[in-house]
Amino acid sequence: MPDYADLAARIRALTHDETDEVALMATLACEIHHSDERFDWTGFYRVTEPATLKIGPYQGGHGCLVIPFSRGVCGAAARTRQTQRVADVDAFPGHIACASSTRSELVIPVIGGDDRLIGVLDIDSDRPDAFTQEDADRLKEILDATFGRD
């Protein structure tokens, strides 16, 4: 498990005074991805038009380019604005297999200070049941601080 206090401090230092959302996403994707060996693919999907997510900055193999809100774990997180912690992606109805190695997934909505859904942070693992509630809570805190919701 990452040292979340250290990760949050590093991200704060690296993103201080930055307001460009893509630059923020790129920095977070890199820092979060390299903070824990459980994290196989770490990236953002951005809301680019109504009910549509498009791939943003990420670390790992190729991701899906477009995900409608109506499909998959990322779509569910965007549609409901609720974190999705999925222990077994094969048991998730409508799961989109961007990578066949993915066994579990954590997707957290990214909401800006204006209560606008910016996108979602998607983390995949090749391990089943890789993510804890603490992962979800601490990463949400980092997202809220970085994108101006706290």
| Element at 30 (helix H, strand E) | helix 21-33
Cα–Cα distance between 137 and 22 in angstroms, integer? 22
- Look up residue 30 and give its two tokens: 């890199």
Parse the chain into domains and list their residue ranges: 4-146
Contact by Cβ (8 Å): 113, 149: yes
Could you read off the pLDDT of 32-52 as tens digits, one per residue? 999 999 999 999 999 999 999
Phi, psi angles (nearest 5°) of residue 17: 70, 5
Burial class (CB in 10 A: 0-12, 13-18, 19+), 120: buried
Instruction: Name the superfamily (CATH) of residues 4-146.
Output: GAF domain (3.30.450.40)
Q: Note the pLDDT of residue 150.
A: 60
Residue 90 is classified by DSSP as G
Strand pairing partners for 84?
A: 107
Residue 115 is classified by DSSP as S
Is the per-residue pLDDT at 64 higher than 80? yes
Could you read off the pLDDT of 86-135 as tens digits, one per residue? 999 988 887 777 777 889 999 999 999 899 999 999 999 999 999 999 99
Contact by Cβ (8 Å): 29, 58: yes
